[in-house]
Amino acid sequence: MLSLLRTLVVFFVSLVSIAYAVHTVEIQGQDFVDSKTNKRLMIIGVDYQPGGQAGYKPQTGQDPLTNGTVCLRDAALLQRLGVNTIRVYNIDPAANHDECASIFNAVGIYMILDVNSPLAGESLDRSDPSGSYNVNYLTRTFGIVEAFKNYPNTLAFFAANEVMNDIPSSKDNPPYIRAIQRDLKNYIAAQASRTIPVGYSAADVRPILNDTYNYFQCNIDGKTDLSRSDFIGLNSYSWCGAAATFQTAGYNDLVSMFQNSSLPVFFSEYGCNKPLGTPRVFNEVAALYGTQMTALSGGLVYEYSQEEADYGLVNINDNTTVTLKKDYDNLQSQYNKLDLTLLQSANATATNAKAPECSSGLISDSGFSQSFKIPSPPDGVDDLIKNGIKNPNNGKLVDVKETAVPMAIYGSNGNEISGLAIKILGNDDSNLPGGETTSANATSTGAAPSASTTKKGAAGKLSAATGGLLAVALTCLLML
C-alpha cells in the first residue's frame, strides 16, 4: 500500500513539470489544419524578434529563443494577448532553444522560423542569387531544420523573405527561391520524422504580387514537385489608420487574388504604424478574420517589441522589465471580438483546392521570370540530404517547471501587473483569445512579486481534479 501511494504521489507531482505538446499542423489545400482534430488553424500571431537584428549574436550563441527567462516573460504576455503563433527571423542553428521552444509549446504557441539571417552568407543575395546559393549557405539552413524539427510547435519554415521587392529583382531570383524550398523539403523528408511546411514571405509589391503568387503556387509539369511553396506569407502594410477600409486598403483585391488559392496565404507581417506617434487601433483585424477574408489564413502583427522602426506592442526596459503600449491593449481588444468558431471551420472546397500547372501564361509582367527550370543542388548538397549535416544540434522538448514571471510587468497605464504567469495548456491545446484585458488588471504600484508567492495561485498547470487527487495522495502518504 505504501509503495502504491508513493507511486501515485510521484506520478501526480510529475504532472507539475510536464510540457504538454501542441498538435502538429498539416496543410490541406488553402488551410493549415490540426493533424489530430482536423480543425482549421487560423494564424493569430505576432512577429517576435526582441532586440531586432541586434538580438542575433551567433558569436555568443544568442538569438530570440535562447534565454528561457525572457521567453517565459514574453510567452505570458503573448498568451494573454491571445496569440497562437510567433514568427522568429534570425536563429543560431548551434544554440540551445529547448527551454524557449518548450515554454511556447506549453502555452499553445506555434513557431514559424526563418532559415536566413542578415549576416553575409546566411541568405540568398538578390543581386547574386547564383553565387549565394551554395553548399555552405544550405548547410546552415539545414542546421535550422535540425535545431527545430523535433519541436511539435514548429509550424513551418520560411525559405526566404522579400528577396524580390521590385520588377528587376524578380527576373533571376524566383528559380533560386524554389530551389531552396526543394532542398529544404528534401532534407526534411530525409532527416525529420514528420513533414514540416516550407514557404516564402513576399513583399506586398502590387506590380509583382500576382506573378509571385502564381510562380510559387504552381506545379512544374503538372506534378507535385517539391520546389513549390507549401504556403505564402505576405508582408502587407496597406491598411493605415482608423479611417482605412476594406476597399481603401486594397483588401478586396487580395481576396480576389487569393480566393481560389491552392495553398495557404497569410499576412507574415501587418500593422501599418502611420500616422506616426499614435497608437495603432488594429481595426483591420475584424476584416482579416471576418467572413470576407476566410480564404486567407490570418496573420502576424509586426512586431512584439518596440525597436527603431516604431512598430512595438511593448517596451522592453533596460532592466528586462516590460511596459505594455496602448497598441497591445488595442490589439487584445480586437482579438477578443473574433468569432473563434468561424476561424476553426475548414471549408471542404478550400481544403481540396488543386495547384495549377506552371506555364509562362501564369506570368503577366515581361520582367518577371518565366523560367521554371530550377537550378540543381550545388555539389555536396545531395550528400548532406542523404546523410545529414555533421554534428547536428537537435532540439527537444524539456519540462517547463517555472510559470511565474520573475520581473515586473507594467500596463499601459504605468501600474504594475501582479501575479503574471504562464498558463500551461492541457489536452494538446493551442492558444486562443480568452477575453483578457491585461492593462486593465494593472493596479499595483509595489515591487515585482517574487516567484515563490506568484507561483502558487497562477500555475495553470493542474486541473482542479488533478490538484485534488494530488492533495489526497499526499495526505494519505503522510498518514502512513
CA distance linking residue 476 with residue 470, whole number of Å? 10
Question: Partners of 88 in the beta sheet?
Answer: 113
Catalytic residue among 26, 122, 269, 307: 269
What is the DSSP track for 387-428? H--SS------------B--S-EE-TTS-B-TT-B-----TT
Helix 206-217 and helix 173-191, axial crossing angle in degrees, nearest 10: 40
Per DSSP, which regions of 306-388 are E strands? 314-316, 322-324
CB 174 within 8 A of CB 362: no
Give per-residue burial for 105-142: e unless 16+ CB within 10 Å, then b.
Answer: bbbbbbbbbbbbbeeeebbbbbeebeebbeeebbebbb
Q: Strand, helix or coil at 100?
A: helix
Question: Partners of 444 in the beta sheet?
Answer: 416
The residue behind cell 477600409 is: 245
Torsion of CA 298, 79, 53, 281, to 10 degrees: 60
- Kindly give, in sequence order, each residue whose CB lies less than 8 Å from that of residue 54, ignoring residues fewer than 6 positions away: none
CA distance linking residue 179 with residue 130, whole number of Å? 11
What is the DSSP track for 143-199? HHHHHHTT-TTEEEEEEEES---SSGGGTTHHHHHHHHHHHHHHHHHHH-SS---EE
269 is catalytic: yes
Catalytic residue among 162, 357, 402, 436: 162
Rg of the chain over CA atoms, in angstroms? 23
Residue 423 grid cell: 498558463
* Triad 397, 454, 70: Cα angle to 5°: 45
CB 357 within 8 A of CB 219: yes
Catalytic positions, please? 162, 269
